[in-house]
Chain A
Amino acid sequence: MTDSAALLNKHSFVELGARQRAKALLDDGTFRELLDPFQRIMSPWLLRQGVVPQSDDGVVIAKGTLDGLPVVIAAIEGAFQGGSLGEVGGAKIAGALELAAEDNRNGIPTRAVLLLETGGVRLQEANLGLAAIAEIHSAIVDLRQYQPVVGVVAGSVGCFGGMSIAAGLCSYLLVTQEARLGLNGPQVIEQEAGLDEYDSRDRPFIWSLTGGEQRFATGLVDRYAADDVPQIRQQVCQLLHLGVPAEHRSGQAELFLQRLARLDTDVQIEPAAVRQLYQGEHP
């Protein structure tokens, strides 16, 4: 890479790995990793299936402060196995959130920030990944009673599967233009429902429905930031300072049912229709 290119890319958050992202968000000198890679807490399931493991199982847990506030960051490494969650990585996130909730019951106001780049369950560890994700859901709802849980989907993997549900449970969500947020990956939808329903190779189509800009415009996330470390850091700070929201997005069943009742399902949906349906009523 040339020097000028390096300079231009200096502040990109998306280009950073999970550990660098956590370091970039935390106050200087406060990053302390738990179960660091040299402890080699790796997947007990990948090796026996002939898959090369990673020393942190693709999840970084770091404690520190953000703008002086005590936080724990759970960052998923999207480059390792598509950011998929297995037993160890899943237990790292669930366990960290459980301890953060326990902190709060003991008078320590630990907040959590989740950096989500994940396809969801790691199929080689299928049911243990799924179980861990259920525990992550439980722990988010528990911790949310005391302090906000902030989710960040920066890209480039996006956030899918059971972890998109985890994103939906967060107090606040921040995305960039690179981000995608959705339950099912495009290829699986195309396989299950056919090309007419979902063309997994049509990138503009996919971004128009599940991309960061559309999710922000439809109120399914709270912040839309440029791919820039200082901007993302500042917005995460603001969200943490907002405290626990009066009502979480996932607690608004009646509102969403009312909106869905108004939708004409005789025609296939367009991005603009979602914006129209979901805009305006959000406080």
Chain B
Amino acid sequence: MSSYSLRGLRWFEALSAGASQLPGLPASVKAADARLGGKTVRLLAVVADPDNRFPRARNGEVGLLEGWGLAKAVDDAIEADRETSSKRALIAIVDVPSQAYGRREEALGIHQALAGAADSYARARLAGHPVIGLLVGKAMSGAFLAHGYQANRLIALRDPGVMVHAMGKASAARVTLRSVEELEALAASVPPMAYDIDSFASLGLLWETLSVEQIEQPSAADLARVVDCLQQAINAVTGAPRNLSSRLGAPHRAASSHVRQLLSAQW
């Protein structure tokens, strides 16, 4: 068994069905145009590259090459569809354990690389590309901000290995001076602190959650379900606002709406 997740790669392979990959990208960034319901979509994934030139980014972390590589792959789609009103959907397959932690990363401005990716995804969405995030594994912190969190719609597979969080359990426990057990107990009573996907869904940030049979290596039935869901998400985005307003409205996120109402009234 490998020390890194292969989920992102397996789902990318299944959804792209052998479509040729976009050239000129780092080995850890996969991008390909596939057909989905008769339309072209661009699939994007960050995958582990054990030979990554940056040693702190060999297990699927989003680092310098990955941030800028994603930006390049998304910019390429924006540019290709600049003159057409039918913009291809971008599907971010999310299985990212963390951002890369290292000396080179900080020195060379990993924050700027991740900003590059977030910038491109956001610009694509504002230009009218449907951007869908498909969470098949971890979606952690800065890595998720760079790859997926700018999507119009987020879909999560229902599995204990699918989790969204600002910090891994072990690190969060160390930083808050708690044991992992204490942290888990606290998280169970505070929805935004929880690690499970149902608690995350209760915040209103997901458009859909889906169960599959074999999340590690999707079956034909799994693939059909996910493809169907992706198409529905793309349809839901068409004609809808290009901002992130669809994430507001859940009771566990009432303050986010309340603050905006007050700001608007006092503006």
Contacts of B65-82 to chain A: CB distance below 8 A: 65, 68-69, 71-72, 75
Residues on A with C-beta less than 8 A from B247 are: 131, 135
> How many residues does chain A have at the interface if contact means C-beta atoms less than 8 Å apart?
84
- Assess whether B65 is in contact with A257, with CB atoms less than 8 Å apart: yes
User: CB distance A260 to B260 under 8 Å?
Assistant: no
CB-CB < 8 A to A96: which residues of B? Answer: 263
In the assembled complex, A11 has its CB within 8 A of some CB on chain B:
no
Q: Does B116 contact A (CB under 8 A)?
A: yes
Given A98-B243, A142-B243, A197-B56, also A91-B256 (CB < 8 A)? yes
Q: Say if the beta carbon of B123 comes within 8 Å of chain A.
A: yes
B253 within 8 A of A: yes
Nearest chain-A residue to B110 (Cβ)?
A: A183
Instruction: Give the Cβ gap from A52 to chain B, nearest Cβ, in Å.
Output: 16
List, in ascending order, chain B residues with CB within 8 A of A265's CB: 53-55, 104
Q: Which of B150-203 contact A (CB under 8 A)?
A: 150, 164-167, 171-172, 174-176, 186, 190-194, 200, 203
Query: A62 → chain B, closest Cβ, in Å?
Result: 11
Residue B115 lies at the interface, judged by CB distance under 8 Å to chain A: yes
Which of B105, B108, B258 neighbours the largest number of chain A CB atoms within 10 Å of its CB? B108
Q: Are A92 and B259 in contact (CB under 8 A)?
A: yes
**With A183-B142, A250-B116 given, is the CB distance from A197 to B266 under 8 Å?**
no
In the complex, the answer to whether B113 meets A125 with C-beta atoms within 8 Å is: no
- A279 CB → nearest B CB, Å: 13
Residues of B within 8 A of A (CB): 26, 53-56, 64-65, 68-69, 71-72, 75, 98-99, 101-116, 118-120, 122-123, 125-126, 141-142, 144-146, 149-150, 164-167, 171-172, 174-176, 186, 190-194, 200, 203, 205, 243-244, 247, 253-256, 258-260, 262-264, 266-267
